Amino acid sequence: NAGVTQTPKFQVLKTGQSMTLQCAQDMNHEYMSWYRQDPGMGLRLIHYSVGAGITDQGEVPNGYNVSRSTTEDFPLRLLSAAPSQTSVYFCASSYLAGGSYEQYFGPGTRLTVT
Amino acid sequence: GQQVMQIPQYQHVQEGEDFTTYCNSSTTLSNIQWYKQRPGGHPVFLIQLVKSGEVKKQKRLTFQFGEAKKNSSLHITATQTTDVGTYFCAPDSSNTGKLIFGQGTTLQVKP
């Protein structure tokens, strides 16, 4: 199993550009989520999904869109990039059944917006 | 909404000293998870606590869940340089798997 994969690893955008961060998992996990990590701010939840076709907002959803058309994929779209979105983005997935919600994280995407 | 306070934010210790980080929630939790993130890496799951007053050990790491299920702690005995990293608590208040992470405690260990 590859686990959770994210592409790209690094990205530089100009203000106003749009892009999609890709996330895929091969563990058949129902739950997937996106976090951003900024120095001193820990991990903040952007959006999450409990299954294909179902998404919901986290703590900091503004400026980001998600969709979940398949169990495996959960892309994060930046609509119009702003310097405040410079961050490290992590995708994570987990099972929902069984009471153990151990989250598996991808390696992250380091995004710089100039 | 759910608020989590993790303290301290930073801790520098000499190798061999003990270390403790605390996680306090304003609401009663269904369960709490702990993660470790090495510098430049991604968070890695350590443990999940579910029961009131639960204590779990992993070698030199001891995890506790408070009786009221509103706080938790991670204690490392005799730290080693391999313990360097940031430790996050991640409480789940609704038992849905949706995790809101604490700000983390960054541990530095001097050899």
Are B97 and A59 inside 8 Å of each other by CB?
no
d(CA B75, CA A112): 36
Residues of chain B whose beta carbon is less than 8 angstroms from a beta carbon of chain A are 6, 9, 31, 33, 35, 41-45, 48, 50, 88, 90, 92, 95-104
DSSP per-residue string spanning A13-55:
E-TT--EEEEEEESS--SEEEEEEEETTTEEEEEEEEEETTEE
**Alpha carbon of A109: minimum distance to chain B alpha carbons (Å):** 10
Question: What is the model's pLDDT at position A95?
Answer: 87
Question: What is the model's pLDDT at position B4?
Answer: 86
Q: Are B23 and B5 in contact (CB under 8 A)?
A: yes
* Angstrom distances, CA of residue B102 to CA of A30, A39, A69, B99: 24, 13, 30, 10
Please identify every stretch of chain A with a pLDDT value under 70, giving residue numbers as ranges. Answer: 98
If you measure CA to CA, which chain A residue comes closest to B1? A59
- pLDDT classification of B2: cutoffs 50, 70, 90: low
What pLDDT digit, counting tens, does each position of B53-93 carry?
Answer: 999 999 999 999 999 999 999 999 999 999 999 999 998 86
Q: Are B44 and B22 in contact (CB under 8 A)?
A: no
Tokens of A32: 């997937």
Chain A, 35 to 94: residues with Cβ < 8 Å from chain B are 35, 40-45, 48, 50, 58-59, 90, 92, 94
Q: What is the percent of chain B with per-residue pLDDT over 90, rounded to a whole number? A: 80
Question: What is the model's pLDDT at position B50?
Answer: 92
Mean per-residue pLDDT, B35-53: 96
Tell the residue number behind the tokens 């430790």, with chain if given. B87
Cα–chain center distance at B94: 19
Q: Which of A73, A66, A68, A67 is nearest to A24 (CA)?
A: A73
Question: What is the model's pLDDT at position B95?
Answer: 64
d(CA A18, CA A23): 17
Mean per-residue pLDDT, B43-56: 96
Length of chain B, in residues: 111
* Angstrom distances, CA of residue A77 to CA of A84, B16, B43, B99: 15, 46, 22, 21
